[in-house]
Chain A
Amino acid sequence: MTTEITDIVERPRTLAEKVWDDHLVVKGENGEPDLIYIDLHLVHEVTSPQAFDGLRAEDRPVRRLDLTIATEDHNTPTLQIDKPIADLTSRTQIETLRRNAEEFGVRLHSLGDKEQGIVHVVGPQLGLTMPGITVVCGDSHTSTHGAFGSMAFGIGTSEVEHVLATQTLPLKPFKTMAITVEGDLRPGVTAKDIILAIIAKIGANGGQGYVLEFRGSAIRSLSMEGRMTMCNMSIEAGARAGMVAPDETTFAYVKGRPHAPTGQDWEDAVAYWRTLPSDEGAVYDAEVFLDAAELEPFVTWGTNPGQGVSLSDAVPDPASFADPNERAAAERALDYMDLQAGTPMKDVTVDAVFMGSCTNSRIEDLRAFASVIEGRTKAENVRVMVVPGSARVRLEAEAEGLDKVFTEFGAEWRFAGCSMCLGMNPDQLAPGERCASTSNRNFEGRQGKGGRTHLVSPLVAAATAVLGRLASPADLPTRVEA
Chain B
Amino acid sequence: MEKFTTHTGVAAPLTRSAVDTDQIIPAVYLKRVTKTGFDDALFANWRQDPEFVLNQPAYASASILVAGPDFGTGSSREHAVWALRDYGFQVVLSPKFADIFRGNAGKQGLVTGVVSEADIEALWAAIAADPGVQMTVDLTARTAQLGDLRVSFDIDDYTRWRLLEGLDDIGLTLRNEDKIAQFEARREAWRPRTLPVR
Which residues 27-82 of A sit at the B interface, judged by CB distance below 8 A? Answer: 35, 37, 39-40, 49-50, 53-54, 57-58, 60, 65-69
Question: A interface, how many residues as a size bin?
Answer: 35 or more
SS class, residues of chain B in contact with chain A: loop
- CB pair B170–A166 under 8 Å, yes or no, is yes
Q: With A37-B183, A49-B34 in contact, do A165 and B192 touch (Cβ < 8 Å)?
A: no
- CB pair A133–B35 under 8 Å, yes or no, is no
Q: Which residues of A contact B170 (CB under 8 A)?
A: 58, 60, 161-162, 165-166
Quick check: is A96 within 8 A (CB to CB) of the other chain? yes
Q: With A25-B183, A158-B78, A265-B190 in contact, do A166 and B174 touch (Cβ < 8 Å)?
A: yes
Quick check: is B102 within 8 A (CB to CB) of the other chain? no
- CB pair B188–A162 under 8 Å, yes or no, is no
Given B1, B107, B173, B192, which contacts A39 in the complex, CB threshold below 8 Å? B192
- CB pair B194–A269 under 8 Å, yes or no, is no
Which residues 133-178 of B sit at the A interface, judged by CB distance below 8 A? Answer: 168-170, 172-174, 176
- CB pair A65–B36 under 8 Å, yes or no, is no
- CB pair A39–B180 under 8 Å, yes or no, is no
Which residues 1-23 of A sit at the B interface, judged by CB distance below 8 A? Answer: 1-2
Quick check: is B33 within 8 A (CB to CB) of the other chain? yes
Q: With A25-B180, A25-B183, A35-B176 in contact, do A269 and B188 touch (Cβ < 8 Å)?
A: yes
- CB pair B190–A66 under 8 Å, yes or no, is no
How many angstroms from the CA of A154 to the CA of B188 in the assembled complex? 24
Quick check: is B129 within 8 A (CB to CB) of the other chain? no
- CB pair A157–B180 under 8 Å, yes or no, is no
Name the distance in Å between B78's Cβ and chain A's nearest Cβ.
Answer: 6
Which residues 78-126 of B sit at the A interface, judged by CB distance below 8 A? Answer: 78, 107
Question: B interface, how many residues as a size bin?
Answer: 20 to 34
Q: From B169, which residue of chain A is reached at the shortest CB distance?
A: A162
- CB pair A89–B179 under 8 Å, yes or no, is no
Name the distance in Å between A268's Cβ and chain B's nearest Cβ.
Answer: 5
Quick check: is A266 within 8 A (CB to CB) of the other chain? yes
How many angstroms from the CA of A75 to the CA of B176 in the assembled complex? 37
How many angstroms from the CA of A130 to the CA of B1 in the assembled complex? 36
Q: Which residues of A contact B34 (CB under 8 A)?
A: 49-50, 53
How many angstroms from the CA of A50 to the CA of B190 in the assembled complex? 32
Q: From B173, which residue of chain A is reached at the shortest CB distance?
A: A166
- CB pair B33–A96 under 8 Å, yes or no, is yes
Given B31, B180, B189, which contacts A168 in the complex, CB threshold below 8 Å? B180
Q: Which residues of B contact A40 (CB under 8 A)?
A: 192, 194
Q: Which residues of A contact B173 (CB under 8 A)?
A: 35, 162, 165-166, 168, 170
- CB pair A39–B191 under 8 Å, yes or no, is yes
How many angstroms from the CA of A410 to the CA of B5 in the assembled complex? 68
Q: From B107, which residue of chain A is reached at the shortest CB distance?
A: A158
Q: With A53-B34, A166-B174 in contact, do A69 and B190 touch (Cβ < 8 Å)?
A: no
Quick check: is A419 within 8 A (CB to CB) of the other chain? no
Given B1, B180, B191, which contacts A133 in the complex, CB threshold below 8 Å? B191
How many angstroms from the CA of A37 to the CA of B193 in the assembled complex? 14
Given B179, B189, B191, B192, which contacts A35 in the complex, CB threshold below 8 Å? B179
- CB pair A49–B189 under 8 Å, yes or no, is no
- CB pair B195–A66 under 8 Å, yes or no, is yes
Q: Which residues of B contact A161 (CB under 8 A)?
A: 170
- CB pair A53–B174 under 8 Å, yes or no, is no
> Residues 307-323 of chain A: 1 if any B CB is under 8 Å from the residue's CB, otherwise 0?
00000000000000000
Q: From B192, which residue of chain A is reached at the shortest CB distance?
A: A128
How many angstroms from the CA of A67 to the CA of B184 in the assembled complex? 12
10 contacts between A and B (CB under 8 A): A37-B183, A37-B184, A53-B35, A53-B36, A58-B1, A127-B192, A162-B173, A259-B198, A265-B190, A266-B190
B contact residues vs A (CB 8 Å cutoff): 1, 31, 33-36, 78, 107, 168-170, 172-174, 176, 179-180, 182-184, 187-195, 197-198
A contact residues vs B (CB 8 Å cutoff): 1-2, 25-26, 35, 37, 39-40, 49-50, 53-54, 57-58, 60, 65-69, 89, 92-93, 96, 107, 127-130, 133, 157-158, 161-162, 165-168, 170, 258-259, 261, 265-266, 268-269, 272
Other A-B pairs beyond A1-B179, A25-B176, A128-B194, 15, CB < 8 Å: A57-B35, A58-B168, A60-B170, A67-B192, A67-B194, A68-B194, A69-B194, A93-B33, A162-B170, A165-B170, A165-B173, A166-B170, A259-B193, A269-B188, A269-B190
